[in-house]
Amino acid sequence: MSANPHAISWFEIPVTDFARAKAFYETVLGLSIQTMEMGPMTMGFLSSDPEAIGGAIVQGEGCTPSQQGTVVYLNGGDDLADKLARVEGAGGSVAVPKTDIGNGFGFFAHFIDTEGNKLGLHSMQ
């Protein structure tokens, strides 16, 4: 097996209310999150594809949501507007609307999840 060629190999989104966060991300991303207890942590996997970059929502000691620091951009699909439109109905808020990056790099948006984390969405359209 070769090394992962991507700059990111795994990410974790800290949550305080696991059930609320799980419902939020399932609604916004349109996917079913598989849950697993890993020692003292509860994890909800955002991807089960072994070829994809993986990540999870995580609840446990030391998991503190934040709007400062690193921003993780989730895949917005063909057009991030579809996922962004579900953010407020799922209990989050839009911090930066869909914005053209320019130079053919696509579009981005920022949102605040139900836990208080700031994340991004990216799509080419």
For strands 41-45 and 54-59, give the pairing.
antiparallel
Structure tokens belonging to residue 49: 């594809």
Q: Cβ distance 64 to 116 under 8 Å? A: no
- Whole-model pTM? 0.90
DSSP 8-state assignment for residue 110: E
Helix locations, the chain, DSSP H: 18-29, 81-84
Q: Which domains are delineated in the chain?
A: 10-123 (3.10.180.10)
> Which tens digit of pLDDT belongs to each residue from 21-65?
999 999 999 999 999 999 999 999 998 787 888 899 999 999 999
> Which tens digit of pLDDT belongs to each residue from 57-95?
999 999 999 999 999 999 999 999 999 999 999 999 999
How far is 58 from 31, CA to CA, in rounded Å? 17
